Amino acid sequence: MTKVLVVDDEPALVRALRVNLKAHDYDVAIAYDGRSALTRMAQDHPDVVILDLGLPDIDGSQVIDGIRGWSGVPIIVLSARDQEREKVTALDAGADDYVTKPFGMDELLARVRAAARRGQPNEDEPAVVTDDFVIDLAATAVRRTDGSEVRLTPTEWQLLEALVRERGRLVTSQLLLRQIWGPQYERERHYLRVFVAQLRRKLEPDPSNPRYIRTEAGMGYRFVG
């Protein structure tokens, strides 16, 4: 059974989460602050972590750091609307996904499902298959379903690879810029827009309504297969 660790200090929200998660056959563990969250992590080895950023004791991203030091467990962050900065920090620290409060329980459950699926043993094949194209990371090649090859420039490929390696997860603009152009270009978000547009022109069936390379306004981009 999939184990979920809920880290939150609002009793009402915790109760709602526990009920709903149990109803969907998840095993639920609770921690009311960051310190006990880290303890529980070590003891229970959950498959998914739901982490509220507004904890009483430790800063949320520090909790993430503490977990990421030794575990790749998927982390879903809960954040209030006025915690934009904390949210970005959390994602950069290694969170996988985020949900803004208030949220629909269905949305959260969907994200938990996705996160749990990611946690499963990855297959050896580093090929990413979608309805429209296949990305072969080992060969550095992309082929459309109709057999035609997609020709990518070095920068386009770096960008696609960075997104696909974190597929399903949000990748912040900062992280992308740092990885591809270097730390001193972290603020040059325009570079991203240009190259994301080029990628979409080459990959998306309808580039102006992107299906695979999604924009998360203010945060970054997300590749969804």
Q: Which does 68 bind (CB under 5 to 8 A by kind): a second copy, DNA, none?
A: a second copy
Least Å distance, CB 65 to a second copy, is: 10
Contact footprint for DNA (CB under 7 A): 81, 151, 153-156, 173, 181, 188-191, 193-194, 196-197, 200-201, 207-208, 210, 215-220
In whole angstroms, how close is the CB of 8 to DNA at the nearest point? Answer: 22
Interface with a second copy by CB under 8 A: which range of 30-38, 49-57, 165-173, 195-203? Answer: 165-173
| List of residues 6+ apart from 1 with CB closer than 8 A | 25, 26, 27
Q: Which is nearer to DNA, 40 or 200 (CB)?
A: 200
Q: Are 54 and 83 in contact (CB under 8 A)?
A: yes
CB of 214 to DNA, least distance (A): 8
Q: Which of 23, 24, 72, 187 binds a second copy (CB under 8 A)?
A: 72
Q: Least distance from C-beta 178 to a second copy, angstroms?
A: 7
Looking at beta carbons only, is 22 or 201 nearer to DNA? Answer: 201
Quick one: tokens of 137?
């990371």
Site string for a second copy, 117-156 (x = CB under 8 A): --xxxxxx-------------xxxx-----------xx--
The pair of three-digit structure tokens given for residue 63, joined into one six-digit string: 């909790």
Give me the numbers of helices (H) and strands (E) for the chain, helices first please: 8, 12
Report which DSSP code applies to 97: E
Whole-number Å distance between alpha carbons of 108 and 199: 30
- Paired residues of 213 in beta bridges: 223
Q: Which letter, b or e, does each residue of 141-179 get, where b requires 16 or more Cβ atoms within 10 Å of its Cβ?
A: ebeeeeeeebebeeebbbbbbbbbebbbbbbbbbbbbee
Sign of CA dihedral 141, 147, 153, 158: negative
Residue 11 binding a second copy, by CB under 8 A = no
CB atoms within 10 A of CB 63: 29
Q: Which residues bind a second copy (CB under 8 A)?
A: 12-13, 16, 68-73, 81-82, 84, 94, 100, 102-107, 109-111, 113-114, 119-124, 138-141, 153-154, 157, 165, 168-170, 175, 178-179, 216-219, 222
